Amino acid sequence: MIPKLHFSSFETEMYMNYVFWAFKPATEGFKYCCPVICIDETHLYGKYEGKIVAATAVTATDKIIPLAFAVVNKEMIESWGWFITLLRRRVCRDRERVTLISDRHKALLSVVSRIWDNLTVQPRGYHRYCLRHVCSNFNERFGNTVAKDLVWRAGSARQVRKFNKIMGDI
């Protein structure tokens, strides 16, 4: 486990804003996985509010490996930048061409374009949008579940011919 803490102080009290951890067997195993990392976040409710952020990968046998986690006070540029930087440093290390899949949260996109999907930053990485989130956003905007299902099929197509056919149907 690689714990990383981020503190801030207010007068005489100290507050933990973020915590990051990654388990060594998972980060070592990532060397043998497809170079794709999915990140997502969810709300924490109750006495301690905030967000939990998770980064996962998939093995060749379609098993999910939890790579890294963070608990942050809120979803903003500073917390996303902190998480993405540690993810690169502790999980990806010097691995080239790792693709990061995420939703389209504005703070996250700002950080990804600066830290991950930037030609001047090494090692080079790529960023793509999560198909589940794209379909959900499509359905919210147009309110058409048939079209949403077609978007899912197009995004899942593995052949250009099939993709083009579904896009024509859309």
Task: With a cut of 70, say whether residue 134 has pLDDT above it.
Answer: yes
Percent of the chain whose pLDDT exceeds 70: 90
Stated pTM of the model: 0.81
pLDDT of residue 150: 93
Mean pLDDT (the chain, rounded): 87
Name every residue whose Cβ is closer than 8 Å to that of residue 165 and which is 6 or more positions away in sequence. none
Mean pLDDT of the region 75-100: 89
pLDDT of residue 49: 83
pLDDT of residue 47: 84
Q: What does the block give as tokens for 114?
A: 């600066």
